[in-house]
Amino acid sequence: MVLASPLHGSFAAEVSELVKRTVGEAAPGAVGKVPLIVHATGGTTWDAVELVTQTGAKAAVLVGFGEHNSFASALHTRAELEAMGIPAVVFHCPTYAQCEDTLKKAKRVADAASALLGAKALLIGRETAQAAAARQRFQWDVEVVSIEDFEKAVEAAPPDSAALKTFDDEKVAKITAALRDLAAGRDLAAIQCFPYLMRNKVTPCLALALLNAEGYTVACEGDLAAGFAMLMSRRLTGRPGWIANVVYAKGRQAAFAHCTISLDMVKSWRTMPHFESGYPHGLSGELAEDIYTAVSLSPRMDKIVIGVAKVLKSGNFIERACRTQALVEIGDVAAKAPANHHVFIPGDVTEEVKAVAKLLKLEIVEY
């Protein structure tokens, strides 16, 4: 949404064209839960405040330039919205002509925050306090499907052709088919995998690795907080992030491991026996990137810890740990981690993650 004073006709038209070309043009009246508002000129604060309040938006992403009092209006809008209890973040460009990258970043942040409010989620397993927290804090629609009902879905499902071709395992292909069907039409799915693997002597790990690479967002261990971070990663980078356990931490180095990394996030991969159970299958992969933004949410999803992780080594080099492993330089994980699970988002997107966290009223801590 571009706002401009009528006193700046030609400049406002240039800005509108830039915004349309860079991030697209919203349909008339289409204001999301977290709108992107571009202050093309000064004199637009009260138009922005009215837009947010009348549409019931939960937060706002604002953009201002170094011309025509644009940035001044953006800052004023943020101050007014925050005084009303509505969170807002401001992105600044020195000039509107140098703002394409910043506009794209601001749009990703607005889209991510909007996606994380009112998300449709599936939890395979049993009801948890975390599911209740997601409903309360972020208005998630969390449907719970029992392990028993999931087992019936797996038994009835025809083998998934993509999984059969990739892994050559009919049981994995049936798990993939059932998960694909249940995840369809939802923003996020999470499965409490240990009860399933203990009853059926096969893991869902490979199904998650394939479906996440295909564009679904599926978390393991029923962890909706990690799923929240994976969904954020999906909206910010196009990839789901890698959910990983902390293996050990000392000083600024830490090792992480897990078996469900998305196939589009590794340079190479191979299957191995699942770590704890020895059942088929775990996935060992070498991470494709050198730099990640690692994020971890507290169990009740009210605090987020963020840090840039530099990969020192990855693959499978620790004997007694999950099969995809990474040694990273990150910060004091032992002292600050709010939970075990961390999600590794490709690249350094700390600015975007902090902006999303502020919009969703999360307490922010940095490694």
pLDDT tens, residue by residue, 327-351? 999 999 999 999 999 999 999 999 9
Say if strands 2-3 and 141-145 run parallel, antiparallel, or are unpaired.
unpaired
Contacts of 238 (CB under 8 A, 6+ apart): none
* Statement: residue 27 has pLDDT above 60: no
- Backbone angles phi and psi of 6, in degrees to 5: -65, -10
- Backbone angles phi and psi of 28, in degrees to 5: -55, 130
Considering the chain, what percentage of its residues have pLDDT values greater than 90? 93
- For residues 138 and 112, the answer to whether their CB atoms sit within 8 Å is no
Reported as a pLDDT band with limits 50, 70 and 90, residue 13 is confident
So what's the pLDDT on residue 247? 97
Computed on alpha carbons and rounded to an integer, the radius of gyration of the chain in Å comes to 22
- Please state which of the ranges 22-31, 203-212, 341-350 shows the lowest mean pLDDT: 22-31
pLDDT tens, residue by residue, 170-184? 999 999 999 999 999
Rounded (10°) angle between helices 350-359 and 224-237: 120
So what's the pLDDT on residue 285? 98
Task: Provide the mean pLDDT of the chain.
Answer: 96
* Average pLDDT of span 207-222: 98
Q: Which of helix, strand or coil describes residue 310?
A: strand
So what's the pLDDT on residue 268? 97
Say if strands 363-366 and 303-315 run parallel, antiparallel, or are unpaired.
parallel
Task: Tell me which residue has tokens 């693959």.
Answer: 315
* Average pLDDT of span 358-363: 98
Residue 68: asked if its preceding bond is cis (omega within 30°), the reply is no
Name the segment(s) of the chain with CATH classification 3.40.50.
2-116
Element holding 360 (H helix, E strand): none
Contacts of 64 (CB under 8 A, 6+ apart): 39, 70, 71, 72, 73, 74, 75, 90, 91, 92, 93
- For residues 76 and 44, the answer to whether their CB atoms sit within 8 Å is no
So what's the pLDDT on residue 8? 61
* Average pLDDT of span 111-140: 98
pLDDT tens, residue by residue, 79-106? 999 999 999 999 999 998 999 999 999 9
- Which CATH architecture describes the domain 2-116? 3-Layer(aba) Sandwich (3.40)
Tokens of 90: 């401001």
pLDDT tens, residue by residue, 234-246? 999 999 999 999 9
* Average pLDDT of span 163-175: 98
So what's the pLDDT on residue 242? 98
Q: Which amino acid is present at 111? A: D
So what's the pLDDT on residue 30? 52
* Statement: residue 5 has pLDDT above 70: yes
Tokens of 280: 């088929």
Say if strands 141-145 and 291-297 run parallel, antiparallel, or are unpaired.
unpaired
Instruction: Tell me how far apart the alpha carbons of residues 153 and 150 are, in angstroms, rounded to a whole number.
Output: 5
Strand spans (E) along 178-302: 188-191, 218-220, 242-250, 253-258, 266-272, 282-287, 291-297
* Statement: residue 11 has pLDDT above 90: no
CA angle 34, 363, 183 (to 5 degrees): 55
So what's the pLDDT on residue 26? 64
Tokens of 46: 């009260």
Q: Which of helix, strand or coil describes residue 39?
A: strand
Instruction: Tell me how far apart the alpha carbons of residues 64 and 131 are, in angstroms, rounded to a whole number.
Output: 37
Instruction: Tell me how far apart the alpha carbons of residues 60 and 88 are, in angstroms, rounded to a whole number.
Output: 5
